[in-house]
Amino acid sequence: MLAPVRHDAICLSDLNVHCLDYGGDGPPVLLLHSLSGNTRLFDGLIGAGLAQACRVLVPDLRGRGRSDMPLTGYSLDAGCSDILSLLDHFGLDRIALCGHSFGGLLALYFAAHYPERVTHLAMLDAAVQMPGHAAHDGGGRGAPGPGVSHGRVLSGGDAIRALRCAVG
């Protein structure tokens, strides 16, 4: 397993967020874990070589892992604010976003509201529906948010290879 270059405790206005930074010179990728997960959820992707092809950042979302657990602030909008603050902290204008489960919903919501900050979007095991959009398009897939189109559904090694190719 590739060890992170740094474990950062980043102060985002009123919140300390723990973030693993795997360094690297490749395109930046932000991995967002599930509601019950933490930074270690993506160890398999890291072990499969993602951090060798990209600059990978993996935060513990608000209230999870080693990040602060405030009493409030768990909306998708607050999650977007946290992502924006992380991007600014690391000096990143645009990133590829990959989210698992709830992290996929947050990634989609962020991409729909801040498309100028997202180069690519990957969702793993995320059954999402954006408010105001139909649940299905007739093809058995959930409807994407504004400005987001459907991609292919991949799993296992195919998902890892596709993510590595998409950003590098």
| Per-residue pLDDT reduced to its tens digit, 139-161 | 333 444 444 444 554 545 555 56
User: Could you give the percent of the chain with pLDDT greater than 90?
Assistant: 53
Q: Which of 31-35, 37-41, 78-82, 133-137 has the lowest mean pLDDT?
A: 133-137
Residue 60 confidence (pLDDT): 95
Q: What are the residue ranges spanned by the domains of the chain?
A: 6-167
Cα separation, 58 vs 40, whole angstroms:
8
Q: Which of 10-19, 62-71, 79-88 has the lowest mean pLDDT?
A: 10-19
pLDDT at residue 90 is higher than 70: yes
Residue 143 confidence (pLDDT): 42
pLDDT at residue 135 is higher than 70: no
pLDDT at residue 19 is higher than 70: yes
Residues 6+ apart with CB under 8 A from 79: 61, 62, 106, 109, 110
**Residue 165 or residue 17, greater confidence:** 17
Using alpha carbons, select from 97, 132, 78 the residue that is nearest to residue 27.
97
Query: Considering the domain 6-167, what is its CATH architecture?
Result: 3-Layer(aba) Sandwich (3.40)
Interior/surface letters 80-92, b for 16+ CB within 10 angstroms, e for the rest = bbbbebbbeebee
* Mean pLDDT of all residues in 120-124: 91
